[in-house]
Structure 1
């Protein structure tokens, strides 16, 4: 089964030297939603688009589709 992985997002944050709290504030994303991202749980596309706007990037730069056991 395939699952969305947000590993690319966290790598991008490291590359940008951006703290998680900074992203949550800039993208207006709640702490609980952010923890869903950290745990490879589902979030809405609205959340992903907010993050893309905040980071000025394409969704393919923060999300990838992996096998469930790779997440």
Structure 2
């Protein structure tokens, strides 16, 4: 499974969030967590996925994809 962080970046920009601080504030997470999510350094867990869906309308199905075997 891979995390499609570019989807988060596009949704954040569309919502007017340009910085890690903007994303962190909207998701109510630490700025370093927002940076990790934005850059793809970490995959969001269930609670963060729920925050992303609520804030940006992106579902887990959009953000996560299963690699073909």
- Give TM-score scaled by structure 2 length: 0.66
Contact 2:49 2:60 in 1 (8 A): no
More strand, by proportion: 1
Which residue number in structure 2 is paired with residue 32 of structure 1? 32
Deviation above 3 Å: which 4+ runs of structure 1?
Answer: none
Q: Which runs of 5+ in 2 are unaligned?
A: none
Q: Which has the higher contact order (CA 8 A, sep 6+)?
A: 1
Equivalenced residues, count: 65
Q: Please, which runs of 5 or more residues in structure 1 have no aligned partner?
A: none
The alignment yields a C-alpha RMSD, in angstroms, of 2.4
User: What residue in structure 1 maps to residue 3 of structure 2?
Assistant: 4
User: What is the TM-score of this pair, normalised by structure 1?
Assistant: 0.65
